[in-house]
Structure formats: C-alpha cells, structure tokens
Amino acid sequence: MAVIQVSSPLCRSEKIVKRGKTDNGWQRYLCRNEDCETKSFILDYTYSANFLNHQKKLKILKRWY
C-alpha cells in the first residue's frame, strides 16, 4: 500500500482529512488548519481557472497588507 503525503495548497498544513469525492470521482480533502483560507481542495485539478483566479486574488491582497 502506498502512502501519499497530502498538504494544503495554500497554507501547507498537513492537518488534512478526506472529505468525500467529487461527481467525477476525484478525492476531496479538508484542511483542519483554522487559519487556512482554503478549506476544501482536490490534489489534481483538471480545470484550473478558478484556482488560478484565487491565486491572483491572494497576490493582490498580500500587496495591500
């Protein structure tokens, strides 16, 4: 059995639990870090436009704070 080390794509926390599957069968994960802005994520996104948009928003916010 192979073990995959999973961490949050934004906060890099390893406090991760499985949270069901998507309609396409992809495993969904939940970040248990209270300070993480992304609570639910998938390891391999097939459509990354929404994720990239989120990254741009974070960069803009970091410039102001």
Helix (H), strand (E), coil (C) string for 12-63 = CCCCEEEEEECCCCCEEEEECCCCCCCCEEECCCCCCHHHHHHHHHHHHHHH
Q: Which of 44, 36, 32, 46 is nearest to 10 (CA)?
A: 36
Residue 2 belongs to a domain: no
* Residue 23 lies inside a defined structural domain of this protein: yes
- The answer to whether residue 9 sits within a structural domain is no
Q: Is the pLDDT of residue 31 over 90?
A: yes
- State how many domains the chain has: 1
Instruction: Tell whether pTM > 0.85.
Output: no
Most trustworthy range by pLDDT among 3-7, 28-32, 55-59: 28-32
Task: Provide CB contacts within 8 A for 61, sequence distance 6+.
Answer: none
Task: Identify whether 52 is part of a domain.
Answer: yes
Tell me which residue range forms the domain holding 42.
16-64
Q: Is residue 4 part of a domain?
A: no
